[in-house]
Amino acid sequence: MGGKSDGGPPLISNYSYFQNGLFPVPQAVFSLGLQPTELAVYIYLLNCAGWKTKCCYPSFKTIADAVGCSKNTVQKYVRMLEEKCLIYTERSEVVTKKHGVRNGNLIYTIRPIKDAIAHLIAQQERENACRRIQAMQAKETEEPRFVQEQFWEEKLPL
């Protein structure tokens, strides 16, 4: 490993990260509002995924054992990671020795972090639009009452 000529930190290749048991986690993932166990499941899948294919296929039990939770909890957080556009899952099939077909593990594909950020921004924009519409509707329903009250107050004899 050589250093930068300007005295900055040494350059580290991707290979040396993996060689030393380290792997990169996108910084933006920490701003997506993930639950701690949800984050652990995502990081575990990142660790398992191939560098080029971004795919892996650990079982729910394997993930649960690795992050210290139940299989049901893993299933819940896998669904949430899919909803947040961080991963994509596909079903797989296994052919048994007796030539039967049964369900295999899910195949997890890590999606680009920009997909999750775009999804979060779109979701926030939808929520803000809903709040604006609700505020406008509340304002519209209040105004006619006020106008009616004002009308009746003017017409009442003193």
Number of domains into which the chain is organized: 1
pLDDT at 98: 85
Using CA atoms, how far residue 36 sits from 12, 29, 39, 73, in Å, is 29, 12, 5, 12
Confidence label for 3 from pLDDT (cuts 50, 70 and 90) = very low
Q: Strands, E, within the chain: which ranges?
A: 55-56, 87-90, 93-95, 101-103, 107-110
**Mean pLDDT, all residues of the chain:** 81
pLDDT at 148: 55
Phi, psi of 57 (to 5 degrees): -145, 50
Which percentage of the chain shows pLDDT scores above 70?
Answer: 76
Determine the distance from the C-alpha atom of residue 114 to the mean position of all C-alpha atoms in its chain, rounded to a whole number. Answer: 11
Average pLDDT over residues 47-72: 92
The CATH number that applies at residue 47 is 1.10.10.10
Domain span at residue 126 reads 25-155
Query: Could you tell me the pTM of the whole model?
Result: 0.70
Residue 53 lies in a domain: yes
Task: Evaluate whether 51 touches 82 at the Cβ level (below 8 Å).
Answer: no
More confident residue, 121 or 137: 121
Residue 3 lies in a domain: no
Residue 86 lies in a domain: yes
Does 147 score more than 60 pLDDT? no
pLDDT at 155: 57
Residue 14 lies in a domain: no
Question: Which amino acid appears at position 49 of this protein?
Answer: A
pLDDT at 66: 94
Average pLDDT over residues 20-30: 83
| CA-closest candidate to residue 111, choices 137, 92, 85, 91 | 85
Residue 2 lies in a domain: no
Question: Which amino acid appears at position 101 of this protein?
Answer: V
Q: Indicate the SS3 state at residue 1.
A: coil
pLDDT at 135: 85
Which residue do the tokens 């300007």 mark?
Answer: 6
Q: pLDDT tens digit string along 78-97?
A: 999 999 999 999 998 888 88
pLDDT at 142: 63
Average pLDDT over residues 6-26: 57
More confident residue, 59 or 51: 59
